[in-house]
Structure 1
């Protein structure tokens, strides 16, 4: 206990106890004993000074005492359960001010020890995601405690059908700080064709080695070859065959009439034009299927040969002709060392491209930069040396309107050196944009 009193003072005060400990969100009380040593009736006012004054209270706030008498007031300390509540020993004092004789002020002193508390909140974003080869998630972690927290992320599934990659593996969060841990989920076995498979998994954020509550997530594995692609090929081929049969069976015979010949000639040209159009559609769909199959084989191998597609080329394919169907389009770029090159995809008229994720590949291990722009606005800027195979999902799809351009530009600094292959003279990067093509 502390007892302070000057020889000239007529008031005395002491704290009981002079020091205490309190947890944030809790409360502790201290008794202040006050005595009037003067010869007149005196009123006393009380004021807490120091850092604890922000979360302290005095009751009653004023006290009147006859000469030679004493009484008590109660001090209550209630530090908030918040990240900015300081930890450790905090000194404070109580100013006991006599109203009639303010020069006889008394100031007893004490200390409050604020104890640490830990509170980490985590959230999986999004809870469910889809992809053919992988899916990206983020785990948002916020430290609500008043002490730094070391957090690590773990993921697992009971069927052991998935593999996981976490970046960064751990993070240190200051009080009140929020961080994001990236989680990439990959299937152990790929699906060439068939139905979508849903895999449930869980993640858990551990704080300073203490595990937290598990978070539920789901990965929807899509087949490498879209389910409607064979039907689209068959329908396109059947249409082309029917038009060809119509040409040879109905319109080719000679008509002697001049007017009839003219009509036949015009019809012949129209049918031939339609046949060529259908043949192009079949070739386009077949090319998309071959591209998808080649991509699956290349990703399954350890070392992928550089693409034979010319620098700056781009192509697209839809999983279905239905409105709002899943859509993907590849972009591939080759650039010489010290130069840059780009590839562009333009959204068709009357359509809107909703991009939900982007798969990037740097099979050679090139160094330089890769930039993705939408109508001249930069969306991503990545260093090539930081990845070989990357999936970048967006929780909210990127909207590219009709006529909008998605451009991937590669600034090649140094081509990589793939194992067991001659050193290339160009950087070779590719991107696969996935999403939906909807009607504008």
Structure 2
């Protein structure tokens, strides 16, 4: 029979940053004492809390839980209706679980900002600013951007003036400011301007900026020109009086030294070639002698060694490099249990492994097609070799360089802890992961 669930109010409304509560009634329609787990499904689950999350009910007994809706004042929580569900899971009869559905209407809120980057710019003929409109509210806002120059000294141009800003996003506009008048020399001139964002009935939002206009001729131009002329005159005098005679003398000495160095290098190369030739002859003689000694030693070793044989064996004397191939699959059907330490055991199908053989596993493939939640273990006797979370995979395979061995005293088995069956859940409400094994059946190695 499982549980029945009812909610007094299924149409609720809440303002982001505030909270509202609703009551949920749970009845145990079964004939056994049952434990029920409550949680929230849907996009609202991040900011919805149910208390208590677990309740134990006698047959026919009712239990009440409180559902608290507390959306944050954030653009990620969009305005408008948002469906949700209160899910009640029965421990004793998973197939009798139920979901009570409803909708919460999230009220809109506005958080619009306008920024100007940079706030102040310097230019001679044209300045460029960027207007940033930030919508930190939870619904789209249409915005008109207008500019104003109180002193009427600038020509202000926007890429476009109307835009739609989505919640949690920013819109960027390029603003070009060009002074009407320009001057060659003189003091800087400051031109203030204002950017305003207007949206329906909302109060206008403004950002102030300034263009600092400079003279067209750089201030450093005249001093730099005088300095360059003086420097050119000084360099000309130095060249004809000091540098040119010194360069000519140095060139003659450098040519003589280079010729002597080339002659010395050539003699050194000749000597080095002669030494390498002598060394090569000595190495060749030594190599011939070592080859003869190695051939003699190899003949002696072949006469004294009648051959060797070996096998790849374990410490128990099991040959893991030979034997007959084997592959099989262990399927499971573990009942859902909220206790994460409750495991059910599953073994190798009967008749797969003879009593006198050792199972050598080289490859495993784990399957969780339903998306069950819980844990799966692979054991050798009572020793856990591998433990994985079922929620971490749908298909997972391993291939071993050093294979696993399972002898008669330490059989292969699987344990499963089922927290929640996947969707669609089986009729019996069990978790049904499976593991496929492949390897060999080997006996003790020959003496």
Q: Radius of gyration: which is bigger?
A: 2
TM tier, shorter chain?
A: 0.3 to 0.5
> TM-score by structure 2 length?
0.46
